[in-house]
């Protein structure tokens, strides 16, 4: 006999979430105002600084930065990429995007790295964070924009907050992984010499975990850049707005050029952060031992 259908009660999870968002909007006004003020202040001033430097000079500076982090080939490639962005008349949008990525990345790392350290040192915190991080990583990126727009409206701040939330998980996970992978004998040696837990963390665990932590920084930057483009749909500006405008108007050249600008910025930031991570003393020692 085929079992009859079972009527499962409807769970109004979306309504509960909407109620929570409305409660935050109605009861945490001062905190939301502080977040809005600080976010706008950091983003506007950094973007103004990037716009103040002549484009060609800034392109050369970024090329030299890439050279210092990697090789002269990376520096030359970065310079050429920045000149291509200028030639497409997307320099202003690219600098707005770069400013938003830098601010979002710094805020995300300020939250993620300490959480990763605590999770590495506490199994209880690690077990509690794991499902939260899984949820944050698997939730579709567009869903992050809905509550932030409801709370702050259209503009830079909802895009920035959504970007920070979306890019935190890899920073937490890779920081935790790096700390946990440090040789326990090194930590025990620090205890034997009477080092305090804070000294062991800052002088032994963090330096030895730096290559893995820098890999987390790299991933945070990449996720922030991808989310910033999506955030262009809610008025965050930058290259995301150009791509979105090209999509809505079926302007193929604008959409493609905006996407190409994002790719150039992504390659620049990826190679620079990877180069910085590879220049740490631990990474150099690992390369020597692997030869």
- Residue 229, domain CATH: 1.10.3720.10
Residue-level length of the chain: 291
The two three-digit tokens of residue 170, written as one number: 């890899």
Residue 3: pLDDT over 70: no
Residue 122: pLDDT over 70: yes
Distance (Å, whole) CA 125 – CA 69: 35
Q: Which residue, 206, 218, 146, is CA-closest to 179?
A: 206
In a domain, 3, yes or no: no
Q: What is the mean pLDDT of the chain?
A: 85
| Residue 86, domain extent | 27-290
Number of separate domains in the chain: 1
In a domain, 131, yes or no: yes
In a domain, 62, yes or no: yes
In a domain, 8, yes or no: no
In a domain, 280, yes or no: yes
Residue 290 pLDDT: 57
Distance (Å, whole) CA 213 – CA 274: 11
Among 3-7, 77-81, 201-205, 241-245, the least confident range: 3-7
Distance (Å, whole) CA 280 – CA 291: 17
Distance (Å, whole) CA 81 – CA 86: 9
In a domain, 20, yes or no: no
In a domain, 145, yes or no: yes
- Prediction pTM value: 0.86
Q: Which DSSP symbol is given to 3?
A: P
In a domain, 193, yes or no: yes
């Amino acid at each position: 006999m085929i079992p009859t259908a079972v009527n499962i009660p409807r769970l109004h999870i979306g309504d509960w979430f909407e109620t929570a968002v409305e409660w935050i909007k109605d009861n945490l006004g001062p905190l939301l105002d502080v977040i809005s003020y600080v976010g706008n202040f950091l983003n506007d001033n950094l973007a103004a600084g990037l716009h103040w430097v002549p484009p060609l000079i800034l392109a050369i500076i970024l090329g030299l930065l890439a050279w210092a982090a990697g090789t002269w080939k990376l520096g030359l490639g970065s310079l050429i990429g920045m000149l291509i962005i200028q030639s497409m008349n997307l320099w202003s949008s690219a600098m707005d995007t770069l400013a938003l990525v830098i601010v979002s990345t710094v805020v995300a790392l300020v939250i993620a790295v300490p959480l990763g350290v605590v999770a590495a040192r506490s199994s209880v915190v690690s077990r509690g964070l794991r499902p939260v991080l899984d949820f944050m990583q698997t939730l579709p990126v567009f869903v992050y924009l809905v509550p932030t727009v409801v709370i702050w409206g259209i503009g830079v701040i909802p895009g920035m907050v959504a970007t920070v939330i979306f890019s935190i998980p890899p920073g937490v996970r890779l920081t935790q992984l790096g700390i946990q992978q440090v040789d326990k004998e090194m930590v025990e040696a620090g205890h034997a010499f009477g080092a305090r837990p804070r000294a062991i963390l800052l002088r032994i665990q963090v330096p030895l975990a730096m290559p893995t932590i820098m890999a987390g920084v790299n991933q945070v930057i990449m996720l922030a850049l991808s989310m910033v483009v999506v955030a262009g749909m809610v008025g965050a500006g930058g290259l995301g707005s150009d791509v979105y405008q090209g999509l809505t108007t079926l302007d193929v050249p604008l959409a493609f050029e905006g996407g190409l600008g994002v790719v150039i910025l992504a390659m620049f930031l990826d190679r620079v952060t990877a180069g910085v991570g590879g220049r740490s003393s631990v990474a150099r020692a690992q390369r020597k031992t692997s030869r």
